[in-house]
Amino acid sequence: MLGFGYQSFAPLFAHNEQRVPPYLHLLNLMPGADASLMLVQQGISISRDRVGEILKLLNENDWRPHLVAACAIALGVNDTQVLDAAWMRFDEGSWVSPQLAVAAFIADSGFAQNVRGRIEARCPIQVRRSWSLGSMVRHVAMGPSGDYNRSCKALGALLGLASRMPLLQPWAEDQMSTPDVEQMLRDDWDDGFRLAPRWLDTLRATAGAAHLKLVES
């Protein structure tokens, strides 16, 4: 049941009059995402244990709480244990791995170091608890991708963001010129390479429009 253990963020999972839960606006940062982002900030502000609640969001198998957690991290809940949990979910193949990568890009001072090893290893998917779920439940919670496609998406997201960093850009370009990476980027039907930088830019614009400050600012 979404909302259990993170009541400060429960409004994001409630259906509104259009029957669209606010978290969904955060997926592609569609119109209305500013109001949803303000709900995330509200949850952070009213929570008596914001770290604990974000950890519970990240402890879910479902990608939807991971998305809300990614936004909360970008808005400043960037304690070490939260970042570690976000990277764990990334490594486990969360369907919103690009959004989690953006949150780390914004909030994790060790992003460059954390990215190198994952890119060099080609983002292998780690054992995750959701393997014990039934196929239909796993599809709803984890999204419609197999492990190889999740690796392709995660790798593309990290390379797209690494290409934005002067420190990593030449190295990232070298990685992208290798045959196996070229193939993985071609096989990424979600196009994480473009999705992550686009979500980063739109998140910055949406936060600015809502007069919210990302932790990088």
Domain boundaries along the sequence of the chain: 7-209
Give the pLDDT confidence score for residue 36 in this predicted structure: 96
Give the pLDDT confidence score for residue 144 in this predicted structure: 64
Query: Which long-range CB contacts under 8 A does 196-199 form with residues at least 24 apart?
Result: 196/98, 196/99, 196/101, 196/102, 196/105, 196/156, 196/157, 196/158, 196/160, 196/161, 197/160, 197/161, 197/163, 197/164, 199/28, 199/29, 199/98, 199/99, 199/102
Give the pLDDT confidence score for residue 202 in this predicted structure: 98
Given a contact cutoff of 8 angstroms between Cβ atoms, the answer to whether 37 and 6 are in contact is no
Low-confidence spans in the chain with pLDDT less than 50: 1, 136, 139, 217
Give the pLDDT confidence score for residue 134 in this predicted structure: 56
Give the pLDDT confidence score for residue 136 in this predicted structure: 46
Given a contact cutoff of 8 angstroms between Cβ atoms, the answer to whether 153 and 97 are in contact is yes
Give the pLDDT confidence score for residue 132 in this predicted structure: 58
